[in-house]
Structure formats: structure tokens, C-alpha cells
Amino acid sequence: MDKIKEKNSVVGITYTVTEDGKNEVIDSNVGSTPLEFITGQNYIIPGLEKGLVGLSKGDHKQIKVPAAEAYGEYNPEAVEVVPREQFEGIDLQKGMMLYGQDANGNSIPVIVKDFDDEKVIIDFNHPLAGKDLVFDVTVTESRDATEEEIATGQVGGACLDGSCGCGH
């Protein structure tokens, strides 16, 4: 059986994730399609990928991932106060997620921390920043990536030469 390597392994997993020390499920794909990715492509958080190395198809493991290897430490400097008028027409609620743009025009999520008639406090930190996570993982697939998968970064490859009928 192929063991998961740091680079160029195709991996499929089902998982349930909780915050360390709490029983509330944050996310899970158990009972649905496994998450598939190629190792070494920065597709999943680093601490989870590191914890999968050496496992094989059928293995089950609980992987604790510290905040620094998940979504990063919470950064208080990533909280900003902006004028309320920038949110005209939006029914603001505490905790709601909105999407803004960074300096390069990329869409980035922000969380409304608080607001009043004049200002809105928004948080650019990922909602899981500063949290240690626990992944309960079952490996559903573990094999070496094909040359095409390595080249495209996609499990199953992609249409590179236009001959696969994918319309490109």
C-alpha cells in the first residue's frame, strides 16, 4: 500500500474537525465526497498535511494542529474601524461574513465584529485564526500522483493538449 509522502501523493480523506478541547463540530465531510488533493501543493493547511505523511489508505488518525500550522495566530492589527456609510444598504449583523477586496483586487472575507450608527468594526482574521484544531481523519485514497496530476496540480489531471473533450 502506498504511504502518503510529503510531495506528489494523491490523497483522499474524510474528516471531522473540532476546536481542541471542545466537542462542537466546525466542519465535516463524513458521509459525503472525500476531500482529494495532491500533497506539496498547499491545498490544505500545513499542520494537517504534515500529520497525514506516512499514513496509508484505510488508516484512521486524530491529528492535532496548532493554530500556527492551521489558520495562523489571531492578529489584533487585522481589525479595522471603517465608516458606516461604506456599508449602505447592508443589513449588518454581528458575526456576519462579508467580502471585501485587498490592495490587489482579490476577494477577502471579513467578519463584522460590532457596529453603531457611525462606524463598523471589521475583522480580517480567518474565523479559525488563533484556534488549535483537531482533525479526526480517515484516509480513503493514497497513491503516487501521475505526471499529469503533478503538472496540473489536480487529482485526475486536466486537459493539457485539448484532446480530452473538455472544451478547452
Tens of pLDDT, residue by residue over 94-107, are 999 998 777 888 88
Q: What's the CA gap between 68 and 124, in Å, rounded?
A: 16
The CATH architecture that domain 9-71+129-152 belongs to is: Roll (3.10)
* CATH of span 76-123: 2.40.10.330
Q: Which part of the chain has CATH 2.40.10.330?
A: 76-123
What is the per-residue pLDDT across 50-68, written as a single tens digit (0 to 9) for each? Answer: 999 999 999 999 999 999 9
Question: What is the arithmetic mean of pLDDT over 115-138?
Answer: 96
Q: Is 83 helix (H, G, I), strand (E, B) or coil?
A: strand
Phi-psi region of 48 (alpha: psi -120 to 50; beta: other; left: phi over 0): alpha
Question: What is the arithmetic mean of pLDDT over 144-168?
Answer: 71
Q: Which part of the chain has CATH 3.10.50.40?
A: 9-71+129-152
H helix or E strand, kind and range, residue 37: strand 35-38
| φ, ψ (nearest 5 deg) of residue 163 | -90, 0
